Structure 1
Amino acid sequence: MFHPPFCPNPHCLNHFSPSGHWFFRTGSYSTQTSPRIQKFKCKTCHLSFSTRTFSIDYWTHFHLPYTTILSHLVTSSGIRDLSRILKVSCSTISDRIRRLSHQCLASSASLTSDMNLHEDLVADGFVKGYPKSAV
Structure 2
Amino acid sequence: GTDPVILWLTGGPRCSGFSGFAFEVGPVKYVRAPYTGVLPRLVQNPLSWTKMASIIFLDSPVCSGFSYARDPKGCDVGDYSSSLQVQRFLNKWFTHHPQYLSNPFYLGGDSYAGKVIPLIATYMSQDLPSHMQIS
TM-score when scaled to structure 1?
A: 0.21
For the pair shown, which has the larger CA radius of gyration, 1 or 2? 1
TM-score, with structure 2 as normaliser:
0.21
The structure showing larger relative contact order (alpha-carbon pairs under 8 Å, at least 6 residues apart) is 2
